[in-house]
Amino acid sequence: MSSASRPAARERQPFASSPTARRHGQRQARKDTAPELALRRALHAQGLRYLVHRRPLPALRRIADLIFASAKVAVFVDGCFWHGCPDHGIQPQTNSWYWAPKLERNRQRDADTTQKLEGVGWIVMRVWEHEDPVEAAKRIEQVVRARRSVRQRVQRSR
């Protein structure tokens, strides 16, 4: 969230007029969401170690849900509603004047984060909250292990 637009947004914030909107509001405020914890457990069970809620780049104010620092892999666990999942990212009909630009900003910010990190050699992996955590963990493991073995080969050949 950019701090510049925050007061105006708060002023204009509607009542949580539907149970759906209320639920989403609560979900965004929470850290360590159930999908994040499930993914972390699955990765841990596969023997992977990672850092939680870190900036991949100190100078870039974006926090990844997980990072594998030496492999330079950043993982974001994206909520279906907030990040516009193709299956569940419905546009709320109530107060759409409020939600539509907010969700669009999230999408732009996600794309911008990916672009900036990939621009300096990171791999960005996004996991939807609806995904099977074990499947997602396998996907991440493949990328992290492949990255590590490439880096080791490069180091050995020096």
Assess 107 for contact with Zn ion (CB under 5 A). Answer: no
- Per CB under 5 A, the list member of 16, 57, 63, 85 interacting with Zn ion is 85
Task: Considering only the stretches 7-15, 45-53, 84-92, 118-126, report the one whose residues sit in contact with Zn ion under the rule CB under 5 A.
Answer: 84-92
Which is closer to Zn ion, CB of 48 or CB of 125? 125
Question: Tokens in use for 102?
Answer: 């907010």
Question: Which DSSP symbol is given to 131?
Answer: S
Task: Considering only the stretches 7-15, 26-34, 64-72, 127-135, report the one whose residues sit in contact with Zn ion under the rule CB under 5 A.
Answer: 127-135
Question: Tokens in use for 150?
Answer: 């490439």
CA atoms within 13 A on the CB side of 33: 20
Say what the alpha-carbon torsion angle 51, 115, 129, 56 is, to the nearest 10 degrees: 10
Taking CA atoms, 97 is separated from 9, 12, 103, 140, in Å, by 11, 10, 11, 37
Assess 130 for contact with Zn ion (CB under 5 A). Answer: yes
Assess 98 for contact with Zn ion (CB under 5 A). Answer: no
Which is closer to Zn ion, CB of 67 or CB of 106? 106
Binding interface with Zn ion (CB under 5 A): 80, 85, 87-88, 128, 130
